[in-house]
A and B are shown apart, each in its own frame.
Chain A
Amino acid sequence: MFSTDHKVIGKQYIGLALFSVFLGMLLSLVMRFHLVHPDTKVRLFQMLWPEGAPGGQMTPELYLSLMTMHGTIMVFFVLTTAPQSGFGNYFLPLQIGAHDMAFPVLNMLSFWTTALSLVTLLLAFLVEGGAPLSGWTAYPPLSGLGKITGPGQGLGQDLWILSIAMFCVASLMGAINIIVTVIELRAPGMGYFDMPLTCWGWFVTALISLFAFAVLLPGGVLLLLDRVAGTSFFIPGGLIVNDQVQGRSGGSPLLFQHLFWFFGHPEVYIAILPGMGVISTVLSVFSGKKVFGYKAMAVAMLAIGGLGFVVWGHHMFISGMSPYSSIAFSVLTMAVGVPSAVKTFNWLATLWGGRLRFTAAMHYALGFVSLFITGGITGLVLGQPGLDIYFHDTYFVVAHFHLIMGVAAVFAIWAALHYWFPKMYGRFLNERLGKIHFFLTFVGVYAVFVPLHFAGFVGNPRRYPDFKEYEFLKSVTGLHMGVTHAAYFLAAVQLIFLFNYFWSQRRGAVAPGNPWGATTREWTDD
């Protein structure tokens, strides 16, 4: 259990992410149900959350706490752990010819800190007041004043911050490990530009993690101090909450947003860069060609990593910060789209002139490219402050980030699993089940997330437990009903994957040493 073997730790991370992704998905189903049946009493809700759903009727605070937990679980415990810590741990040493990570004990420690962080987060469901309702972004003062701002803002919010702080520490340990491993343990003669693009993905992601989590951690600590020690880092003077005068002064709510998004935007790239590496590999292997423009691809990753740190302000166009800084952030944001587009062109050029073998992994990789285009292109709308002024905090944003950060990254995880399963378990994931799962899921994600853009056109705000209060939201009732049913469908077909994943570990077809005819070291060594 407390293994220091990078392969075991990699599998542990993937296991943790698998548990988390299904939990996060179940929470989203409950939310989707409530959005279209806000008045329906459900006995199961009452059993699960006696405080939050008295008589089975879900309260707004319960909905918001499910939303907070869904976002937190998915962003941190799925999208940050599986691509980077899971596959990175397992395959980085193999691909660069190292016998393990540079610091195996540190590696074990970072996994168990992550696990403890997840337990701490889930405890928030059980304490008085329940889980926090301030969203995964936890903006103060809502998150900074304790339970006076709402149920769940007491102990639940404290546990949330503790969990995130622990996660930061774990990620920093993991990042240092990967950086040192890449710098010090490459096989003799292997230069940086001889590494597979997957290794570039993990390396750049580790660099991003180092700088991003190093800022989120103090942000979380300061927020906790505001809550428990009476400091005022983020709390301005003159507040009256719930008719009670708060004796604080001098803090800035916007300061927290700057710290949070200085982490939060690079976090998107933490989720997607390892996947980009995987996609490059899978497309190349199943096209029978080398990756087109290897060096441009590696440089594009570095450019995304670097530019990713100077665009955080596009999450704050309407926050009240200087309108002049919005202009600067806007230009930089549009600039970070360029290396992403360059990667897409290079993927298409990798396919060009190849002989494409449509394995399950290849399906997910091609699906990734399609989703990356669909999800990425709306960034050109949201990156303009003039246009964001309408779409900010509407379902248009929900659709955008779910496609690009959530779904595309998860497609990369599936591609990686199908591709590397033979190495990890000596057996294939069932190819036919994989393809069936791909087709149903691919249709499902388009059916869920494309229509949500249109709720955004109507101006539908996100983070609403129901839409009953507004005349203009009557027009999106049918749209949300359709999306909810598509979400049921999408969730149901994930059982195919789950079955395939566990069944194939024991019963899958036995795989030879290098089943795909790849040229990287994890298949050709030992």
Chain B
Amino acid sequence: MAIAILIAALAGATLALFFQPRWWFPEAISAHARAYDAHFLVTLCVIGCIFVFAQGLLAWVIFRYRDRGQAVTGSDGSSALEIAWTSATAVIFLGLALAGQGIWAGVHLEGSDPRALKVEVLAKQFAWSYRYAGADGAFGRVDIKQIDDAGGNSFGIDAKDPRGKDDLTAAVLRVPVGRPVELQLKSRDVIHNFFVRELRLKQDVVPGMTIPLRFTATKVGTYEVPCSELCGLGHHQMRSSLVVMTEDDYAAWLAEAQQKVVLP
């Protein structure tokens, strides 16, 4: 009896939390992020209904059939019911699975955009660095022996490769608004994870692999990038930023940064 009320109360309190505005997704800053939020809302409505229905039924059955000396009446099996709820849940669950494939496909299954700004992302314990191809649009060869973090050559850009002369490295990821971006994620040591909440994107960065991640940010601003795969004792401090700039600001930054490139 008391437990029926408690189940109803706790289910109600759980539900009520969804109507507070404080702890929720941050603003969405890409078409993908907005599609994500829309599909999440659909999923939330479906599971919310199931949650209310199931907890409500549980509380009601407990209340209704509490021991009042009544005779036991219920049956102990029904093929029709089994078939009904098995197929109903199968339709709902698999329907959700299929409905959600669109946002996944949008991130991972669409090919590379030839106009995309390509940036290499290098993760190591416990810092991020970014490499831009420079004016020639081509990344220089890298050589593990030439890596020099203190000297500003974290990527190990090979001094002998002319394509690398204008390669630009930075500690913050700057991209122009509205332009497709393609990141090439690499790690030097252990597994890290590149996560931008506002883009609704998260991708492990695995040593030995180069993993692409594509997005087009549609809002100017600075967004935090927290490492989201346990990478050691500095994991919680492995912070970086994504700065989305207007085309003009980006061009100005690029020109200025390009001048400072120290040829290795």
A interface residues (Cβ-Cβ under 8 A, vs B): 59-61, 64, 133-135, 139, 141-142, 149-151, 236-243, 245, 251-254, 287-296, 318-320, 323-324, 326-327, 330-331, 333-335, 337-338, 341-342, 344-346, 348-358, 363, 366-367, 369-370, 373-374, 377-378, 380-381, 383-387, 389-390, 392-394, 438-439, 442-443, 446, 450-451, 454-455, 457-459, 461, 463-467, 469-472, 475-476, 479
Contacts and interface: CB of A to CB of B under 8 A. Distances in A.
Contact of B17 (A357, A374, A450): A450
Contacts of A330: 97, 100-101, 104
A461 B195 contact: yes
Given A238-B208, A374-B14, 4 more contacts: A353-B65, A353-B73, A380-B47, A475-B23
A238 B144 contact: yes
A370 B239 contact: no
Contact of A459 (B3, B195, B211): B195
B47 A381 contact: yes
A358 B65 CA distance: 11
10 contacts: A239-B208, A240-B188, A296-B77, A323-B107, A330-B104, A335-B94, A341-B93, A373-B58, A381-B47, A384-B104
A412 to B, nearest CB: 16
Contacts of B72: 287-289, 353-355
B226 interface: yes
A241 to B, nearest CB: 4
Contact of A384 (B1, B100, B237): B100
Q: Which 8 pairs between the two chains have the least Cβ-Cβ distance?
A: A353-B74, A236-B208, A323-B108, A454-B23, A386-B103, A384-B100, A386-B104, A464-B236
A508 B166 CA distance: 81
Given A330-B100, A393-B229, A387 B39 contact: yes
A331 B97 contact: yes
Contacts, number: 319
Contacts of B46: 380
Interface in B162-200: 188-191, 193, 195, 197, 200
A294 B234 CA distance: 52
Contacts of B202: 318, 389-390, 392-393
B198 to A, nearest CB: 9
B214 to A, nearest CB: 12
Interface residues of B, number: 100
A373 B76 contact: no
Contact of A241 (B23, B125, B149): B125
Interface stretch (B81-89, B112-120, B130-138, B249-257): B81-89
Contacts of A385: 100, 104
A443 B6 contact: yes
Given A348-B61, A374-B51, A380-B43, A334 B14 contact: no
A442 B69 CA distance: 28
B65 A320 contact: no
Contacts of A466: 236
Interface string B1-18: 111001100110110010
Contact of B65 (A254, A354, A455, A467): A354
A475 B209 CA distance: 35
B31 interface: no
A61 B104 CA distance: 35
Nearest to B98: A331
Interface string B189-229: 11101010100111110111101000000000000101111
Contact of B24 (A350, A381, A443, A458): A458
Contact of B193 (A60, A296, A318, A357): A318
Contact of B191 (A142, A392, A439): A142
Nearest to A38: B236
Given A150-B232, A386-B100, A458-B23, A356 B65 contact: yes
Contacts of A457: 23-25
B100 A352 contact: no
B207 A236 contact: yes
Nearest to A337: B93
B205 to A, nearest CB: 8
Nearest to B225: A470
B9 to A, nearest CB: 9
Interface string B42-78: 0110110011001101100110011111111111111
Contacts of A394: 228
B34 interface: no
Nearest to A251: B208
Contacts of A327: 101, 104
Given A135-B230, A242-B125, A355-B65, A387 B1 contact: no
A334 B97 contact: yes
B128 interface: no
A326 B93 contact: no
A36 to B, nearest CB: 14
Nearest to A366: B3
Interface string B224-248: 1011111111111101000000000
Nearest to A67: B230
Contacts of B201: 389-390
Contacts of B263: none
B228 A392 contact: yes
Nearest to A464: B236
Nearest to B81: A349
A475 B55 CA distance: 30
A253 B200 contact: no
Contacts of B62: 351, 356, 366
Contacts of A438: 3
A356 B58 contact: no
Nearest to B57: A348
A252 B239 CA distance: 26
A337 to B, nearest CB: 5
Contacts of A139: 190-191, 229-230
Nearest to B236: A464
A374 B11 CA distance: 8
B104 A326 contact: yes
A469 B240 CA distance: 10
A225 to B, nearest CB: 18
Contacts of A354: 65, 72, 74
Contact of B23 (A141, A334, A378, A476): A476
B58 A150 contact: no
B107 to A, nearest CB: 7
Contacts of A338: 86, 89-90, 93
Nearest to A476: B23
B123 to A, nearest CB: 12
Contacts of A366: 3, 7, 58, 62
A479 B23 contact: yes
B84 to A, nearest CB: 9
